[in-house]
Amino acid sequence: MTEPEGPADTFSLDSQELPFEPGQTVLQAAVQAGRYIPHLCWHPDFAPHGSCRVCSVLVNGRPGAACTVKAAAGIDVQSNTEPLNAHRKTLLQMLFVEGNHFCPSCEKSGNCLLQATAYEMGMEGPHFDEVYPDRPVDASHPELLLDFNRCILCELCVRASHEVDHKDVFAIGGHGMATHLLVNSPSGRLADTNMAATDRAAQVCPVGVILPKRRGFQVPIGARRFDAHPVSEQVDKEQR
């Protein structure tokens, strides 16, 4: 005889009880329950990276990243609070000024998780001085364009190329403000790798760095994923 299943363990997210499965992180449990916790570098198909800190929450009063903190019975998680959202907005503003993000001319506008999250957090301007880094575009590949200006260093392409495509096309180089995305080829050009447009790494970028060529603005602005509904209302569509 099998034991009858007891009630699922729960924890509190913004004063509402949430069930979780053993081993799940706070963010996984939240997504499963359709609850939004802002995030950028997390993707359901990959191990958490914990680098963007946009998913910062308070767990029993202590700061933690919702994508890495394990859910546990009875913990109290605060996420949607004014100070935490202000912190997230500051992180987003820093990301925007560290790169060159010209949303109106970006093919990813309306489908971009950075842009959607900034709208969600009420970001209306950069606040900090723009850095305007010099980041050349790599248009060498016949099928794919790389616009490094928009890279937020989430490493999803690095992880996808390594774990799914088994190609290691991308890597991260440099330190501090000079940290940047690299193409792993002797020339540093994408054309000199074995990357294909069908690779997972070509699909996973949450912003507009890795783009298919010859498909510009096929879906018009206004008809894109985040044009109709904010990111917080699309927790069920975690594929991007």
Q: Considering only the stretches 85-93, 134-142, 152-160, 212-220, report the one whose residues sit in contact with ligand SF4 under the rule CB under 6 A.
A: 152-160
Residue in 29, 52, 71, 92 binding ligand FES, rule: CB under 6 A: 52
Q: Specify the DSSP class assigned to residue 70.
A: B
Angle CA 140–146–151, to nearest 5: 155
Amino acid found at 236: D
Q: Tell me which residues in 61-80 interact with ligand FES (CB under 6 A).
A: 65, 67
- Among 181, 183, 195, 231, the residue binding ligand SF4 under the rule CB under 6 A is 181
Residue type present at position 145: L
Q: Which stretch binds ligand SF4 (CB under 6 A): 58-66, 89-97, 115-123, 150-158?
A: 150-158
Check residue 209 for interaction with ligand SF4 (CB under 6 A).
yes
Sheet with 144-147, strands from edge to edge, namely 137-138, 144-147, 210-212
| 157 touches ligand SF4 by CB under 6 A | yes
- Residues in Cβ contact with 237 at an 8 Å cutoff, skipping those fewer than 6 apart: 225
Q: Where are the alpha helices (DSSP H) in the chain?
A: 26-32, 82-98, 113-120, 156-163, 225-228
Footprint of ligand FES on 20-49 (CB under 6 A): 39-42
Round to whole Å and give the CA distance between 202 and 205. Answer: 7
Min CB(45)–ligand SF4 separation in Å: 13
Interface residue list for ligand SF4 (CB under 6 A):
151-157, 181, 204-205, 207, 209-210
Interface residue list for ligand FES (CB under 6 A):
39-42, 50-55, 65, 67
